[in-house]
Structure formats: structure tokens, C-alpha cells
Amino acid sequence: MTWILVAVLVVLVVVLAALLMRSRRSQRLQEDFGPEYHRAIEERGDRREAEAELAERRERRAQLDIRPLEPGARDRYAERWQAAQRRFVDEPAQAVGEADALVSAVMSERGYPVSDEFDQRAADISVDHPVVVEHYRAAHAISLRATAGDAGTEDLRQAMVHFRALFDELLGREERTDREQRTYRDEHEPTHATKERT
């Protein structure tokens, strides 16, 4: 009888330890990915599958050699962005195309693979930039509509705003402490950031 009780207690301890580990893993993923965590769950429809996908994204990101831009490169890209912004006045569709290409160029120079499909590029970006990745998705969707001739001037302006959000992140605000990252997430929810200046 004593052995049965000991065995039951051991099983309970193991189960509780597993539940605690899973809870901590979930909490850490939620803190690291912010709104992207909830988006993944909504897309997958299953918390476990979503968390497995986010963990895979993190593992893939760990294999990449992501590096900050050199100051000179940062200045050059900032100047190119200003030129694209100025072009928007007369040629909005072309300016959005330039913004898209500029974001890809910065991503490439930082070390992100840009030859992959868009969804994979967005997944890679989401590990370091979980708040603004939704801007990237929105900008890309508008850019595709613009290519098909199905985007108005206001849509194109929104695309520039969305591209700008990721562009600013890639240009050099990447390295943050966990506390700074959480504060930024709280203050800049992507669904409310559509009024930023282009």
C-alpha cells in the first residue's frame, strides 16, 4: 500500500512539474511575441500548435546572423526613404514599390533571408519585431493590390505608413531590454498605429 501511495505521489509531482514547465513556456512565448502570440493562436486554432510554431520561428532565427546596420548604411537608407516619401506626392504607386524594395534591402543587409516566400520573411521578422510585423503584412497586402491596380491613394498612403513602421525598427531600434520591449508593445499596438506620419 505504501508503494502505491509513493507511486501516485511521484506521478502527481511529475504531472505538476510538466504543467508548470508548459505554463512557463507559454508565458515566455507570450511575453516575447506579444500580439503575434495571439495572432498565431487565432490562425492555428490550437494553442499547442501555435506555440510549437513560434518556438520553431525562434530556433530558425537563432541560426541567422542578424547584425545591426553600420552608421553609414543607416544614413544612406534614411536618405533613400526620404526620397521615396517625396516621390509619393507625384507617383504614389511607384513610391510604395520603392518602400517595399527598401525594406527588403535593409532586411537583407541586416542578415534576414529575403529570397524566401513572404510568409517566411514575416515569420523571421516576427521574432525580433513582433509588434511591427503586422505592419509589414498590411503593407505587403496593399502593395500586391497596387500591383493589380486595385489600390487608391489613401491605401497607398497607409502602405507607406506600414512600411515606415518596420523600416524604422530595422534601421536601428532593434536592441532593447525585455522591459523596454514590453513597454513599447503596450504603447504601440499595431492596430492603433495607422496615424503615424509617413
Sign of CA dihedral 183, 189, 192, 198: positive
Please write down the long-range contacts of 46-53, taking CB distance under 8 Å and 24 or more positions apart.
Answer: 51/25, 51/26
35 touches 134 (CB < 8 A): yes
37 touches 82 (CB < 8 A): no
142 touches 176 (CB < 8 A): no
Amino acid 178: pLDDT:
39
110 touches 173 (CB < 8 A): no
Amino acid 194: pLDDT:
35
Going residue by residue through the chain, which has 198 residues, state the pLDDT in tens, using 9 for 90 and above: 777 776 666 677 667 666 666 667 677 878 888 888 889 989 888 888 999 999 999 999 999 999 999 999 999 999 999 999 999 999 999 999 999 999 999 999 999 999 889 999 999 999 999 989 999 999 999 989 888 888 899 999 999 999 999 999 999 854 433 333 443 344 434 333 333 334
pTM given for the model: 0.72
